[in-house]
């Protein structure tokens, strides 16, 4: 019986295990996994690897045009996967369908959130927490993203062993800038203290799969990626223009300014409803 032609899901699995898992830092491999699960598999999962066309790549890339940085990172990921698919004999040589796909222009935007905008964002998070319209771990991830100034990947892959409550800091062994210490303010410590530890999981932000951390922060019933969820959380308060509300620019706005509550002082260091 002839072997079934490999599909994109097979290629993704092999890429993550044989390339990302062994040749990249853990944080970079996790980011690749997030992009695969959020953007590649929902569109190309069952497509035969040999049948993926440039038109497929262009369509997927174009669908992410509102987030050009993310779109270009997905394109780079697909290009590497297509290159490896040729090396592994899954496609004919020289047919990398990502070649000649034009990348979007990435324009750096720096606008920091004002105290009023932080208050509105805090209100939205509090409302979604009270109405259970977002998973508690995802809300905690967004709060920590804002309060610590960490990268999204650093929050999603944060382990309890990295949290030093006594020293009031995070000790990250594998960040993009190598090992580093992130000092925690009272609201950030309160968020961490309130996170429920589940089934002896090593992860602070637990995912839906047993033993895994949250990968993409997707809303229930939604297929957008993690940075989109933060942006979506800011859409209602009217914060769309700020990269601080997105995946990484919040680092410029964070501690010590972000350590302050959004509207009212915290009670004994515990964020109240108005706090982020």
Domain boundaries, given as residue ranges, for the chain: 8-87, 115-259
| R_g of the chain computed on alpha carbons | 20
Q: Which of 202, 189, 218 is nearest to 158 (CA)?
A: 202
Strands 180-183 and 163-164: unpaired
Alpha carbon separation from 255 to 136, 137, 250, 251, 261 (Å, rounded): 23, 22, 10, 8, 11
Instruction: Please give the CATH architecture assigned to the domain spanning 115-259.
Output: Orthogonal Bundle (1.10)
Task: Mark residue 274 as left, alpha or beta (left: phi above 0; alpha: psi -120 to 50; beta: remaining).
Answer: alpha
Q: What is the pLDDT along the chain (276 residues), one digit of tens a residue?
A: 446 789 999 999 999 999 998 888 888 898 999 999 999 999 999 999 999 999 999 999 999 999 999 999 999 999 999 999 999 999 999 888 999 999 999 876 666 777 888 888 888 889 988 998 888 988 999 899 889 988 888 899 999 999 999 999 999 987 555 788 999 999 999 999 999 887 788 999 998 788 888 876 554 433 334 444 444 555 555 554 444 344 443 444 443 333 333 333 333 333 333 333
Buried b (16+ CB within 10 A) or exposed e, 74-106: bbebbbbbbebbeeeebbeeeebbbeebeebee
CATH classification of 8-87, choosing from 1.10.3470, 3.30.2130, 1.10.8, 1.10.150?
A: 1.10.150
Which structure tokens are listed for 181?
A: 């210490």
Predicted TM-score of the model (pTM): 0.54
Q: How many CB atoms lie within 10 A of CB 15?
A: 23
């Amino acid at each position: 019986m002839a072997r079934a032609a490999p599909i994109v899901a097979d290629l993704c699995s092999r890429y993550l295990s044989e390339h990302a898992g062994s040749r990249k830092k853990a944080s970079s491999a996790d980011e690749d996994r997030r992009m695969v699960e959020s953007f590649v598999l929902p569109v190309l999962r069952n497509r035969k690897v040999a049948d993926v066309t440039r038109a497929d790549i262009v369509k997927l890339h174009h669908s992410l045009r509102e987030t050009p940085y993310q779109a270009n990172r997905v394109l780079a990921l697909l290009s590497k996967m297509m290159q490896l698919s040729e090396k592994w004999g899954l496609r004919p040589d020289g047919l990398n369908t990502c070649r000649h796909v034009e990348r979007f222009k990435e324009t750096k935007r720096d606008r920091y959130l004002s105290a009023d905008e932080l208050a509105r964002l805090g209100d939205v998070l509090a409302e979604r927490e009270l109405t259970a319209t977002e998973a508690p771990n995802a809300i905690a991830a967004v709060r920590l993203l804002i309060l610590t100034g960490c990268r999204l990947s650093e929050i999603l892959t944060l382990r309890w062993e990295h949290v030093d409550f006594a020293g009031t800091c995070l000790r990250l062994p594998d960040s993009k800038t190598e090992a580093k210490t992130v000092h925690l303010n009272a609201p950030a410590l309160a968020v961490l203290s309130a996170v429920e530890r589940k089934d002896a999981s090593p992860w602070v932000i637990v995912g839906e799969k047993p033993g895994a951390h949250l990968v993409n922060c997707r809303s229930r019933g939604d297929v957008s990626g993690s940075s989109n969820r933060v942006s979506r959380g800011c859409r209602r308060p009217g914060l769309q223009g700020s990269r601080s509300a997105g995946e990484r620019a919040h680092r410029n706005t964070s501690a010590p300014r972000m350590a302050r509550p959004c509207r009212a002082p915290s009670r004994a260091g515990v964020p109240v409803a108005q706090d982020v």
